[in-house]
Amino acid sequence: MSDPVRRWLIAYDIRCKRRLARVHRLVSKQALPLQYSVFCARLSRSQAHALAAELEELIAPVDDVRLYALGENPWYRWYGPGQMPDAIWLIENEKQAVDLATYEANSGDDDEVD
């Protein structure tokens, strides 16, 4: 059975600064930060489950950690100043690359949301 790599959105809300630092270190090793506690990763399902198991060991019952598998062509848009440093590129496939430092549009048509 195939275990394809796909995009995952990872978000967390950790109440303790010590646990927050540990969670941030772990997630930062495998994902690109989009905001302070929101990341995007390219993982297989088994890799995502392994990450979730590691996160579960680090958090407390009051903490909130979420992993969302994104579809083939997710629609996205952001407003406000970007958090990406200059010269960061998101490579969707060999035909589509996005400069995240200057990106202002979305990945699909403005009027269509899947």
Q: Given a cut of 50, is residue 83 above it in pLDDT?
A: yes
Hey, CA dihedral for 15, 17, 23, 28, is it positive or negative? Answer: positive
Q: Which fold has domain 5-69?
A: Alpha-Beta Plaits (3.30.70)
Q: How confident is the model at residue 84 (pLDDT cuts 50, 70, 90)?
A: low
Least confident of 1-5, 42-46, 110-114: 110-114
Domain ranges of the chain: 5-69
Contact 44, 5 (CB under 8 A): yes
**CA-to-CA dists, residue 30 to 5, 40, 78, 91, 95, angstroms:** 13, 9, 22, 16, 24
Contact 73, 108 (CB under 8 A): yes
Q: Given a cut of 80, is residue 92 above it in pLDDT?
A: no
pLDDT of residue 112: 43
Running DSSP on this structure, what letter comes out for residue 99?
E
Q: How confident is the model at residue 82 (pLDDT cuts 50, 70, 90)?
A: low
